[in-house]
Structure 1
């Protein structure tokens, strides 16, 4: 900021005889001079730190800072270059589009590890960012819609595969358990007979568990096979291993699996029961795979219909620039004449003062709150008379937008040439805002019903 002495001198010059322009110019000159001196001091002090904050500058900080004031005065935006940072790409989706995050006048240390795109000028970085922003947003929305549609099929496919895998795993487990029973058939029969004999002698399940525990500690091999007993299911769980394929391995290193056997069946009958269950699961797996393939195919067919509704082409929607007449109430007549009506008193005044030209037609009525209405000739038709149908439509609009609409009063509008309309009374002078002064003959239009409609105009 400038020193107080300079401001006092400038304020003293602002007397009644000294134009304010002189004071203003001196104030600006002193302000710029003092600020320039302070910028010089800050600029030289900041250079060592810029090398740490902005390592990509190298030896450029001093040159850029010394040239910045002149570059700013000349409108030069190429001093520091520019960059655009990118959103980290999805590693699971190599085809994911590049998305711009922000644009920078220079690459700072905070952006050293970020993906970025360098430009020779800051203007180029800004142009690239804003020109691609809308397209990238549209592409992201399109990919999100496509992924949402495809995820439905993937979910159905994964569910069917999971169910088939579970059935296959269950069938494999039952087949292995049946084989383990066959490998250890004498031991399984001995364990079943021992438990059934103890129960037949009147021993309850708790006493039986204590007896098995004691026999296991005593080294009884049959009791050592019993892992668990379940009186609710009338079964016991045995610890069995493959004694045939692993004959060369030591007994302590053989893999052991738990197999539940029914006490009401023999060892061979338990093995047959497991083989039957394995066959049943295999059949379920086959049926599940067939039904799953049909379900996935039907889902893919539905997905294709839904995906066809997703717009696959990227379009950048340009904001339509409004035409000058769209600030008024307007319509195009049946003969292609543009008809304008003011929305309020200010627009009525603007319409007459700025847009009523020679050759146009002014339409009005004697009803209160009547808007000013101007009929503009189409291109190439200047000087031609306005057709009666267009005059009637304009008069109809004027009446519908006046107090005649609320009072349901059927009356007539009238029209005059543009040179018959003014905003000032020859005697009293300028009229209030929104009022007009009309001279000469008024052409009365036919009365019409108070009916209005609307239409849509596409470009």
Structure 2
């Protein structure tokens, strides 16, 4: 009876503590979402400001002429109404640079122009070149805000992890803790794997991560991989100045191909190319625009042809820690003997992940199997390309 009341009291206190911690976690997760929105907004602003700056430089002489024409007419005694009427007449005749004119705000001395569907303001009190410099400066400030928000986001994530850890500690009296998981590394927010030689390869999960990968994490010594199909992520092979073997290059190519749209299309293989970082640029040709996650590729490409689409998902054990890993079969086989190979197919990631877990569990001891079953299914699903697939029969 004493044991019953002791356990009941412990359960009641645990529920009370859990409620408080859950509130803390919920508040932190709201903050996390706000920080994610701030990062995305700042990156979009930075991209827009940089694009405006580039557009001004592409049309520098024309825009400078337009600014000087307006200011000259004003100094000669023309009213703002007359100036705007003159510009509208010229615009109707499709004459450059009047064709870019949209409006003038006499109070703020701001000129509104539109070039290639990109509308922006120019300060009439300064030159076109200084206007471009101001937009570049705004882009830098927006990127700085995004970086600051990313650092704040990491701190919030740490607080959430700490709160969740406290929640687990408080419930240890009445429930068994889940298996200890390996601490997540910075690159695990991307798609990733370590090659047979130990090189780290990381790929974007979406357009935003593609953009972030190239702009923030690409280094001069890296190799950049991309499948020859639209809707493919960029993959960075982090060489750190070392020379990767043909085997590692093949593994990175297979990784890039498997996580491309080719998997969703059900293809068996695809061509993948790799380039050096200095061959990739965010600056499009004059008059063109690159969407988020898209980049221009210049120079010759190094091809790895007919790369088979296949991914291995396995378990890596280190002391008392367990980690789900995924990537090219040869790279995973080099790290663990406990893995399952998958290929393009129509089974949903949820059902496929359950099958993979059952197969992997059979390769473990009884204690390991019991702990492995507590690992969230999402840890397996995150390595399944395009949310669908099939167990390989090979």
Fold match (TM-score > 0.5): no
Greater fraction of residues in strand: 2
For CA contacts below 8 A with separation 6 or more, give which structure has more relative contact order. 2
Instruction: State the TM-score bracket (shorter-chain normalisation).
Output: 0.3 to 0.5
Q: TM-score, normalised by structure 1?
A: 0.32
Structure of larger gyration radius: 1
